[in-house]
Structure 1
Amino acid sequence: MKKVYIAGPEVFFPDGADIIARKGILARQYGFEANSFESGDFPAEKFAFGMAISKANEEVMRGSDFVLANMTPFRGVSADVGTAYEIGFMCALGKDAFAYTNDPRYYDVRLTQDYYAGQVGPAADGMVRGHSDGWMVEDHAMVDNLMLDGGIIARGGLVVRAPAGATLPWSDLSVFELALKAARDWYDKAS
């Protein structure tokens, strides 16, 4: 049974334990084992605690076959920075990668609408840039930064988006399940 490292910011949510448990159940229904570390005796001091969690997560990633990451924007217009690290870590290990987002909009749309409040336009160099800072609006028809989508897709995975319309709530696992199905199909074809 393939071991999946389920990445995402759900640990920060009040109902995060429930969401994580539901993801594990769904993973098993698709023939995967949700891989995670067992709660252990971690140090009480804040920095040491953080380092212990980081080390434990990296050990679990090394022991996983693939990552399935929640790239729904978290505290901004992009995926959770820890989740982005985990995607990169797994890709660097040569592991398979899949992802999903409950926000149907591409990255450039979120940048334009949410970050710049529509205040963007073409600059002298032909790039679309924010009026306030002159920064380029990255538009590659991707869910997030091209390095995240690119790393996943280059390994044969994909990033599943919610259907057009409103952003789905974090607790809605329908798009997560579509990503699980894609991973299952990919592994079945590979065998």
Structure 2
Amino acid sequence: MTVMAERATQRSPVSLEGFERLADFAAKDSDNTVKLEFIGGRIGVKRAPDGDHTTIVTWLMRQCMQHRPELDLYAEQGLRVEAYRRGRARPDATLVPEAHFAGDGEWADTEGVLMTVEVTSFDADADRRDRKEKPSAYAAAGIPVYLLIDREVGTLIVHSSTDAEAGRYQDIHIVKFGDRLHLPTPVDVEFGTEKLRDFVR
């Protein structure tokens, strides 16, 4: 697994089907300490989250349950993303109608997904992966809202108004930790973010 992890951020000639077999092997071989993604024709390693990372996702889950109890926030559900669903991503969280992924396998389609969420990790490729590749992949898949919780700079970045054909979001709104966060339609909730100040380094 170590050699694979070191090479994982390089462009890979592996096919999508080959990637899925590799991802399945990696999940079993690493006891779920790493999971693989395939975005922009590149294999990426998603390492096990730290305690603050997991706490932030749990905090967001609580906010969503309080404001939209008819929705579910799934952690690390695999999604088919990018144009023509040729990528594979594992968002830190995915907001969907209740029981939306019931019966799906490891990689689900993005139809019906309301929002994806990433919480930055403190690794070398976080900038490329979470701030550049993921917004493009999620927009191209037609996901209406992408929320990036950026622990490095203490901000929440809300991407919305999907231009799927161009693979980009047209609206980007930045909120500092501690300010109120509004998540636009179809999520349509607003809440304070003061608690996030407790989970930054």
Sort the TM-score into its range (normalised by shorter chain). Answer: 0.3 to 0.5
Q: TM-score, normalised by structure 1?
A: 0.38
Over alpha carbons, which structure has the higher Rg? 1
| Structure 1 or 2: more helix by fraction | 1
- Larger RCO of the pair (alpha carbons < 8 Å, separation 6+): 1
